Structure formats: C-alpha cells, structure tokens
C-alpha cells in the first residue's frame, strides 16, 4: 500500500528509487560501509557527486557557460546570496512582486542591495505581468521573478524579456519547463517538489557572474562552490 | 565485512542505526510512504524532529537559556552567521588564531564586523594559548575559539575564561567533552565527525543573543530558525 502525497510540500518519490537507495544503504556496492559514512574525497562518493552534477546539467539543458551548484539553505538562502553575489551595496536589484515568495525575496535582498519594484500584482496576486508591464529602473543589475507562485497559483506563461538579465526562482516548477538560458543569469530552486527529497538547492549561475562577483564569506560566495 | 573509517572526515555510524534507517526507509512505520516523502508539517516528521531537538539538548546538557538550532551550510556558514547575529558592522569580534579553522573563521567574520586577533600561534600552531595569553580588546563582543584544531592536532585542555563570552567551534570534538555553558554565547559544529552523517550543523545559542540580534536576511538570522 503506497500513499501518494498531493500536497505542495515535499514530493512523492519513485518507488524503485527508494528501493535502490534502501538496498545499498548499509553496504554501498560491497564497499563494507554506507555511502553516508564515506569521505567526500573518496572515489565512491566522488563518482556519485560527479554523475549527479552531470545529470543536473543534462536534464536542464544547461549550456557550458553556466555552473551547476548543489547548495544548502534552501531557496531562502538564495534570496540573500543572489544580491550579495550579483549586486552588493552599491547597486540595485529589481523585483516583480507576484506573491508570497517574491515578497520574501525582495525583503531579504534589501539587506545587501538597493531594491526596486518593477511591478506589483498585490494585494490579490491573481496574474503575472507581461513584459510590457514590467518597469525596470535602467541601472538595475537584474530582474528577479518567481516563475510559479504556488500560494496564489499563478505562473508566467511566457518568459518576460525586459532587455536585462533575469534571476528566476523556479522552486515549485523546477525542470517542468525549459529554462530560457539566453535570458537568465541565475536560476535556482529547492529540489524537494520535483527532483528529490528536501535538503538541497540547485543553482545554475552564468560563469561571467562569478568572475565579476565581490569578495564574500566563503559559504555565501558562488565562486567558492564553483571551485568545488 | 565492515570497514572502519579512521579518517578525519565523515564518521563511521553504528551498524544498528544504519540497519534501522534502512528497514524503515521505504515505508516509515507503516505509513505507506518514506519519511523523506513526508511534509515537514506532518505528525510523523514533526515527532522525529521534536525528539531529535530534545536529544540534542539532553546529550549536550544545554540549559533552558539556550536555543538548539539544526542548520545547513556547515560550520563554514556559521563563520559568517555568528558575527552577523552577534556583532554587525559597528562592533568587534576577537579571535584566537590556532590553525586552519580559526583562520577561516576570522576571514569570514571580516565581511560583516571588525575583527581583532587576541592571540596567534602561527606559523607552527603547536599549542593552544592559556587564558593569560589571550589579549582581547575591551570593546569586543566575544572571543571566538576553535576548541580542537584537527589539522595541527591541538586542543584546549581547559576552557579559557577571559571575562567575555566565548563562541566555540567544536566540530571536530563535538559532544566528546562537557560544554562550559556559563562561559559561552554560541557553540556550533558540523555533526559529521561525532554525531551522524554530513549535512547538518547544530548551533546552541544563548536566548539573550536572539533578543539583541540585528535584522537579517531570513536564513542568516538565528531568530528565524528559533521560531521554527
């Protein structure tokens, strides 16, 4: 008897995936130890990690010009890390406010950058804006959008091209639609709704962003994670 | 055949713990789903979480005046979060420099606070200082120590009482010795060496610290996590 979880939180996983993880949980491929007891520098773990990175690149269709990062702290930590890495105290990040998640994002960004509201669908948040409706101040570094606001149940039917890089929070619909690589500098989302159990965030970040990033505390710097 | 991992990285786990996790991995207590498929708001998961918090308080002997927080980002993210939450741009954090880990800590703290070196055992790092040797500037908010520097293989035999709150990074010897609750404001460490698999950091933080903390981005604020 299997229960299916239809809730908006963590997702149901394929039974065969759970069974394979269970079967190799105590003794991984005859190594005499669980994978979770092994060093992150071991050949066994490194093979799993490298394959997972390659798959995350492949299923998203991410071009070579993007890094694939596996991070902790959820999409919430990205609300802080994106403006730290892309903007810093001297610049401005613009936001399309379309519900609870974009409101959290702009509030967190305000701790490390100037912020601007390019559109606000409140208080009802019943639809997403068209590209024409988004008024992005000219000096902004990027426009942040939440591509699917789960609480209001609204979604951008088309990607807004505003002549400025997009940062896209895709948590609730991650890898359920193609990512517009030409338009984005950063795409992020927790994996727990569409990709796996809770606990990891995948961030796709354009490599040129890393080169221009300010010096930051180690965990908060995309450059640290890109170095591996 | 079980392999024992003697390396300084992730630890070997008790076989009976691995076996119990394996046995309930696909179907948790007859619920028809894995625990990793369940909502964090479900009764089943909440019971596990609440018991783990209570055990983390009990085994450490943490008094009621401390919060117990389960965080991501490793001890490395704490190198940034501690000065953000305790000091901020206007104050000073002091550090006892005793090896690789305390050097990383002071470098990360410098991004959000002024820093001072209370003692430096370099370049050889062959011993820890006594309390008398630590020269902590009077206006400092706390003294950061790494209680056991794994790379150099040195450890404080006694806790230094310098008349100022300690922040203690205990990653490599977590819960292998009593914590001096009267002397500390924050104790943190990754769990991967002594307590479980890699992926979580336990932070014990004095509740009065939360009350005095500045407003921060959500994930970076201890107050956010204390609210649960």
The catalytic residue among A108, A159, A169, A185 is A169
Nearest by CB to A33, which of B3, B80, B217? B3
pLDDT of A57:
98
pLDDT band at A228 (very low <50, low <70, confident <90, very high): confident
Mean pLDDT of A95-116: 97
Q: pLDDT tens digit string along A134-181?
A: 999 999 999 999 999 988 899 999 999 999 999 999 999 999 999 999
Residue of B5, B24, B71, B72 to mutate, testing the A interface (most A Cβ within 10 Å of its Cβ): B72
With beta carbons under 8 A apart, name residues in chain A contacting B218: 76, 79-80, 104, 107-108
The phi and psi torsions of B144 (rounded to 5 degrees) equal: -85, 130
Considering only CA atoms, which of A221, A116, A104 is closest in space to residue B224?
A: A104
Q: Which residues of chain B have pLDDT under 50?
A: none
For the beta carbon of residue B166, count every other beta carbon within 10 angstroms. Answer: 21
In the structure, what pLDDT confidence band is assigned to residue A10 with cuts at 50, 70 and 90?
confident
Peptide bond into B66 cis (omega under 30): no
The DSSP letter of residue B11 is P
Which chain B residues are Cβ-neighbours of A220 within 8 angstroms? 77, 80
Contacts of A11 in chain B (CB under 8 A): 37
Residue with tokens 């076996």: B19
Average pLDDT over all residues of chain A: 95
Q: Catalytic site residue B193?
A: yes
- Please judge whether B217 and A15 are an interchain contact, meaning their C-beta atoms are less than 8 angstroms apart: no
Beta strands in B28-102 (DSSP E): 66-71, 92-97
| Of A91, A90, A89, A98, nearest in space to A117 by CA | A98
User: Mean pLDDT across the stretch A216-220?
Assistant: 98
Residues of A whose CB is below 8 A from B31 = 3
A122 burial level (CB within 10 Å; 0-12, 13-18, 19+):
exposed
How far off is chain B from A41, nearest CA to CA, in Å?
9
Task: Say which of B101, B108, B119, B185 is annotated catalytic.
Answer: B101
pTM: 0.97
In the prediction, which pLDDT does A215 show? 95
Q: What is the mean pLDDT of residues A14-41?
A: 96
Whether residue A192 contacts residue A198, with contact meaning beta carbons closer than 8 Å, is answered with: yes
Q: Which residue of B has its CA nearest to A194?
A: B37
Torsional sign, CA A160, A75, A201, A148: negative
Query: What mean pLDDT is predicted for residues A111-115?
Result: 96
CA distance A37 to chain B (A): 5
Long-range contacts of A152-157 (CB under 8 A, 24+ apart): A152/A98, A152/A99, A152/A100, A152/A125, A152/A126, A154/A98, A154/A99, A154/A125, A154/A126, A154/A127, A154/A128, A155/A128, A156/A128, A157/A128
Cβ contact (<8 Å) for A197 and B11? Answer: no
Judge contact between B71 and A77, C-beta under 8 A: no
- Given an 8 Å threshold on Cβ–Cβ distance, is A32 in contact with B2? yes
Q: What is the pLDDT of residues A53-74, one digit of tens each?
A: 999 999 999 999 999 999 999 9
Is A169 tagged catalytic?
yes
* Contact between residue A125 and residue A150 where contact means Cβ atoms under 8 Å apart: no
| pLDDT for B118 | 98
- Nearest Cα residue in chain A from B24: A22
Q: How far apart are CA B18 and CA B21, in angstroms?
A: 5
pLDDT, residue A4, reads 87
- pLDDT of A8 > 80? The answer is no
Q: Report the residue from A11, A31, A72 with minimal CB separation from B73.
A: A72
Does this complex have an ipTM over 0.90?
yes
Q: Which residues in chain A are contacts of B40 at CB distance < 8 A?
A: 9-10, 198
Minimal-distance CA residue of chain A relative to B45:
A10
Residue A132 C-alpha, separation from nearest chain B C-alpha, in angstroms: 31
pLDDT tens-digit readout, B203-226: 999 999 999 999 999 999 999 999
Does the distance separating the beta carbons of B19 and A22 come in below 8 Å? Answer: no
Instruction: Give the total residue count for chain B.
Output: 228
C-alpha B2/C-alpha A223 separation (Å) is 38
Distance from CA of A32 to the nearest CA of B (A): 5
Token digits for B103? Answer: 């050097």
Chain B residues inside the 8 Å CB shell of A79: 217-219
Contact between A35 and A42 (Cβ < 8 Å): no
How far apart are alpha carbons B99 and B101 in whole angstroms? 6
Contact A118, A134 (CB under 8 A): yes
Annotated catalytic residue A181: no
Q: Distance from B94 to chain A by nearest Cα, in Å?
A: 17
Interface contact A3-B33, CB threshold 8 A: yes
Q: Which chain A residues have a beta carbon less than 8 Å from that of B15?
A: 26
């Amino acid at each position: 008897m299997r229960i299916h979880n239809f809730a908006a939180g963590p997702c149901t996983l394929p039974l065969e995936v759970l069974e394979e993880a269970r079967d190799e949980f105590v003794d991984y491929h005859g190594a005499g130890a669980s994978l979770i007891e092994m060093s992150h520098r071991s050949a066994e773990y490194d093979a799993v990690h490298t394959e997972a990175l390659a798959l995350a690149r492949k299923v998203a269709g991410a071009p070579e010009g993007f890094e694939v990062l596996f991070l902790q702290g959820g999409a919430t930590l990205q609300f802080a890390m994106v403006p730290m890495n892309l903007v810093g105290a001297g610049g401005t990040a613009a936001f399309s406010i379309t519900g609870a998640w974009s409101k959290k994002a702009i509030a967190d960004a305000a701790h490390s950058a100037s912020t601007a509201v390019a559109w606000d669908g409140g208080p009802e948040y019943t639809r997403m804006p068209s590209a024409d409706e988004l008024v992005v101040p000219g000096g902004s570094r990027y426009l942040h959008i939440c591509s699917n606001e789960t609480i209001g149940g609204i979604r951008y039917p088309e990607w807004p091209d505003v002549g400025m890089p997009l940062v896209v929070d895709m948590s609730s619909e991650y890898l359920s639609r193609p990512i517009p690589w030409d338009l984005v500098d950063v795409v992020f989302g927790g994996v727990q709704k569409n990709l796996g159990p809770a606990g990891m965030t995948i961030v796709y970040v354009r490599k040129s962003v890393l080169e221009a990033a300010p010096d930051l505390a180690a965990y908060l710097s995309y450059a640290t994670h890109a170095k591996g």
